[in-house]
Structure 1
Amino acid sequence: MSERPLLLRNARLIDPAGGTDTRGALLIQDGVIADLGPNLATAPEGAEIVDCGGAALSPGLVDMRAFFGEPGAEHRETIRSGSLAAAAGGVTTVVCMPDTDPVIDDPAIVDYLLRRARDNSVVNLHPAAALTKGLRGQEMTEIGLLKLAGAVCFTDGARSVANARVMTRALTYARDFDALIVHHTEDPDLAGTGVMNAGEYCSRLGLSGRPAEAEAIMLERDVRLVRMTRSRYHAAIITCRDSIEIARRAKEAGLPFTCGTSINHLSFNETDIGDYRTFFKVSPPLRAEEDRQALAEALAEGLIDIVVSDHNPQDVEQKRQPFAESSDGALGLETMLSAGLRLVNAGHLSLPHLLRSLSTRPADLLGLPGGRLVRGAPADLVLFDPERPFVLDPRNLHSKSKNTPFDEARLEGVVLRTLVAGRTVYQ
């Protein structure tokens, strides 16, 4: 690295891995954290010195679930625009989903994405490879070759593998390569053509529903298969109380099981759909308020390991449709941190705990460096003011699409600077 040393002083140093929250300074040299602490006052000759003014400094966020349009859907998001959106949200590492065109089910496509990311992304970008060929759920991909090419996990994105035999084979094969399978847990037959959470509110709107039981049934099946194969398994997004109890039993049994939820499901419930607001149409659907509260409690308890943005940009034509016909998806990269701070301000969990679910735990699951504020760790950092309020204006978003459910929402938590390997990529 040719960058000169950088000293960030007068900062609130938050290390989510250790749970510490102290005042001090942090020195960056050669792309890594060279030193930090309350007694660090001097910098090497020629270093750049930045006074943080008491703002919070933590490891950059690691988002395990985001859709980038390359290849095939560049009109929705490119690697360049998506990475700029990530940097603006304090996200320094992104895992992109495989549901592109063509699908990321071949080592050559993994290599292509890594080369495109090297040339166009301002943040660390890692591809997730498809679990089954063409995302069709019938034949598993070459997990070993894909992992060797650079895939960090295996998933069919927003599709579930309904065939239990195929799922068992994939889990068994993944175990031999210590590969992580990330699964969308929803029985496609029971979910059917539903467009929102099944229940009274759905009936009032005259829409078809997707019951929470579709999620719980698939998750229960997967837990039993994990118990049989002992393979590393991660439930991508759980959204209801039944799934939380299934996750609890899996963890109590000592299975290699983890789970996550999305910032959308922690922030909204089914009533936010209101008068058919398509920006709130996501997959899995938003659930009842009781489920949202249960998710927040499970996150605070540690049952839910990570929080993802589930960033899924859609163009205007796909969202300006009748609710039942519009595409699923909402933006999330630029609002994930500030939306998560709502939970901190409401007293549901501490700031280090929130950042652990947004950085340390996903980095650990993926086997990636980062997520820690310690000497020698990569200088992938976010400096933010957790108390500064703002009103979100979609026109200021860096994503090519503007389908954010936080349109004109009042939020707190402004990202001041994002650094990747010690280089400022957003300010």
Structure 2
Amino acid sequence: MIERFIIRGGKIIDPTQDIDFIGDILVEDGKIKALEKPGKIPVSRGLKIIDAKKFWVLPGLIDVHVHLREPGFEYKETIETGTKAAVAGGFTSIACMANTLPVNDSPSITAYIREKARQSASCRVFPVGALSKGLKGEELAEIGGMIGEGAKAISDDGIPVMNSYLMRKGLDYARAFGVAIIDHAEDSSLVGQGVMNESIFSTELGLRGNPQASEEIMVARDIALCRLTKSRLHIAHISTAVALEHLKRAKDEGLLVTAEASPHHLTLTEEEIRNYDTNFKVAPPLRSKKDVLALRKALAQGYIDIIASDHAPHSVNEKALEFDQAANGIIGLQTTVPLTLGLVSEKILPLKRWIESLTIAPAKLLGIEYGTLKKGSQADITIIDPNEQWTFSEALNRSKSKNSPFFGRKFQGKVKMTIVGGHIVFEGGIVN
């Protein structure tokens, strides 16, 4: 059943149209039919009214970095549970990484993910295909075939591509097919057995360190390959101040380089690990306060284009280990909005920049026609109460996994409603 409704009296903000005003939106046939000042849209019989007074009405949020774990690791997450967490977090579109079992390195697996999403997803799901077969970094995957089946980017995310020649060829193929390579930029030979940022804290805690140089070297190498191939390179979860300097120079040079930062790298430091809580163990690791401040500044200035959750679900058993043995990752789909909204309320990040980083910038990276409230566009809409205070809890968690360090944390700013293609898929804490 197609829903018809007016979103009334909300603060409509859309960077793609440079609009920020109190008004109404008419949704019909799954699309945005009108944006008007309050009361200007005629109310016909049977038209539902959604009261959005004191709320923000935004283009549907887009997350370019999500691990849905299906196929193969359904004990951690499924397309169904992961997309429920997504819409509860305000996301209408997500891109899912290729580190599944089997790996999404062939058209058949890409098609399988698309079909499973059609059957069970609460939001739009765009697969990211593997760069190399089996994520082994030895031979290119079937890039053209995966893109033909709907893959929107290419990545061996989680496993750095150490072979420079293979990375070059991957960039060449990506350019030929009009997509970007999403780059997990770490030199694994330098990372070694490192499990946290290499610093005085790692020495004090007796944990092996992952030096910042591991990221900085690979960012520099892959920018050089981007320059060589004239391809699109997207640096995932950038985390160090020096890597940012490489990024800034590349952007100022006009290279086709973009970057994302995760909410945890924007808000947490290595000092969180003092209690050996494995829910703070991520890759790349949490860095220094200096790095966090540099990331925030680069995001505000637009050098970092995108905020991406890097939602990485793991079972309780995979986290209930010694710190150096535990899996890397945090679930983040439901905490991305409130964590990063804190940067807006603290005047660190302009509101418009925050919205861009979660809407039009990720849409451009994936080459999808979403992230806008323009008349005639698909009605993908996120409604947020910027003032509501709430506490994230296991009861509110929609992911199949529970590896979050934020349970019990009080936030300000809550997703009230998520609309995908004109369908209300999340409202009042309930996924429809």
TM-score tier by shorter-chain length is over 0.9
Distance 1:422 1:222, change over 3 A: same
Summarize deviations over 1:116-163 as a string: whole Å, max 9, x none.
000000100011000000000111112111111110000001111000
The equivalent residue for 1:92 is 92
Matched, 1:3 2:2: yes
The equivalent residue for 1:150 is 150
The equivalent residue for 2:119 is 119
Q: Which amino acid aligns with 1:70?
A: E
- Alignment map for 1:260-409 (pairs within 5 Å): 260-409=260-409
The equivalent residue for 2:239 is 239
Q: Is the contact between residue 302 and residue 353 of structure 2 (CA under 8 Å) also seen in structure 1?
A: no
- Alignment map for 1:136-285 (pairs within 5 Å): 136-285=136-285
Q: How many Å apart are 1:44 and its aligned residue?
A: 3.8
Q: How far apart, CA to CA, are the structure 2 residues paired with 1:41 and 1:150?
A: 37
- Alignment map for 1:17-28 (pairs within 5 Å): 17-28=16-27
Q: How far apart, CA to CA, are the structure 2 residues paired with 1:325 and 1:48?
A: 53
Unmatched 5+ residue regions in structure 1?
none
Q: How many Å apart are 1:325 and its aligned residue?
A: 0.7
SS in structure 2 at match of 1:415: strand
Q: Is the contact between residue 60 and residue 371 of structure 1 (CA under 8 Å) also seen in structure 2?
A: yes
Q: How many Å apart are 1:54 and its aligned residue?
A: 2.1
Q: How many Å apart are 1:67 and its aligned residue?
A: 0.5
Q: Which amino acid aligns with 1:143?
A: I
Q: How far apart, CA to CA, are the structure 2 residues paired with 1:62 and 1:24?
A: 23
Matched, 1:56 2:56: yes
SS in structure 2 at match of 1:369: coil
SS in structure 2 at match of 1:238: coil
The equivalent residue for 1:67 is 67
* Range with greater deviation from structure 2 (47-56 or 183-192): 47-56
Matched, 1:30 2:29: yes
Q: How far apart, CA to CA, are the structure 2 residues paired with 1:329 and 1:16?
A: 31
Q: Which amino acid aligns with 1:23?
A: I
Q: Is the contact between residue 179 and residue 366 of structure 2 (CA under 8 Å) also seen in structure 1?
A: no
Summarize deviations over 1:67-89 as a string: whole Å, max 9, x none.
11211111100111101100100
The equivalent residue for 1:13 is 12
The equivalent residue for 2:423 is 423
Q: How many Å apart are 1:90 and its aligned residue?
A: 0.2
Q: How many Å apart are 1:424 and its aligned residue?
A: 0.5
Q: How far apart, CA to CA, are the structure 2 residues paired with 1:43 and 1:122?
A: 29
Q: Is the contact between residue 17 and residue 374 of structure 2 (CA under 8 Å) also seen in structure 1?
A: no
Q: Which amino acid aligns with 1:421?
A: G
Q: How far apart, CA to CA, are the structure 1 residues paired with 2:154 and 2:389?
A: 38
Q: Is the contact between residue 76 and residue 314 of structure 1 (CA under 8 Å) also seen in structure 2?
A: yes
Q: How far apart, CA to CA, are the structure 2 residues paired with 1:27 and 1:356?
A: 23
Q: How far apart, CA to CA, are the structure 2 residues paired with 1:317 and 1:346?
A: 37
With structure 2 as the length reference, what TM-score do the two structures score?
A: 0.97
Aligned residue pairs: how many? 426
Q: Which amino acid aligns with 1:382?
A: T
Q: How far apart, CA to CA, are the structure 2 residues paired with 1:387 and 1:13?
A: 16
Summarize deviations over 1:220-266 as a string: whole Å, max 9, x none.
00011111110111111110100110001101111111111111101
Q: How far apart, CA to CA, are the structure 1 residues paired with 2:394 and 2:265?
A: 20
Q: Is the contact between residue 153 and residue 366 of structure 2 (CA under 8 Å) also seen in structure 1?
A: yes
Q: Which amino acid aligns with 1:3?
A: I
Q: Is the contact between residue 263 and residue 336 of structure 1 (CA under 8 Å) also seen in structure 2?
A: yes
Q: How far apart, CA to CA, are the structure 1 residues paired with 2:377 and 2:390?
A: 32
Q: How many Å apart are 1:53 and its aligned residue?
A: 2.3
Q: Is the contact between residue 23 and residue 38 of structure 1 (CA under 8 Å) also seen in structure 2?
A: yes
* Range with greater deviation from structure 2 (16-25 or 141-150): 16-25
Post-superposition, which runs of at least 4 consecutive aligned residues in structure 1 deviate over 6 A? none
SS in structure 2 at match of 1:274: helix
Q: How far apart, CA to CA, are the structure 1 residues paired with 2:3 and 2:91?
A: 23
The equivalent residue for 2:128 is 128
Q: How far apart, CA to CA, are the structure 2 residues paired with 1:389 and 1:218?
A: 40
Summarize deviations over 1:19-50 as a string: whole Å, max 9, x none.
43210010101111100122534234421111
SS in structure 1 at match of 2:245: helix
Q: Which amino acid aligns with 2:369?
A: P
SS in structure 2 at match of 1:81: helix
Q: Which amino acid aligns with 1:99?
A: N
Root-mean-square deviation over aligned CA pairs? 1.0
Summarize deviations over 1:192-211 as a string: whole Å, max 9, x none.
11000000011110000001
Q: How many Å apart are 1:371 and its aligned residue?
A: 0.9
Identity %: 39
Q: Is the contact between residue 3 and residue 30 of structure 2 (CA under 8 Å) also seen in structure 1?
A: no
Q: How far apart, CA to CA, are the structure 1 residues paired with 2:213 and 2:64?
A: 25
Matched, 1:410 2:394: no
Q: Which amino acid aligns with 2:336?
A: M
Q: Which amino acid aligns with 1:355?
A: I
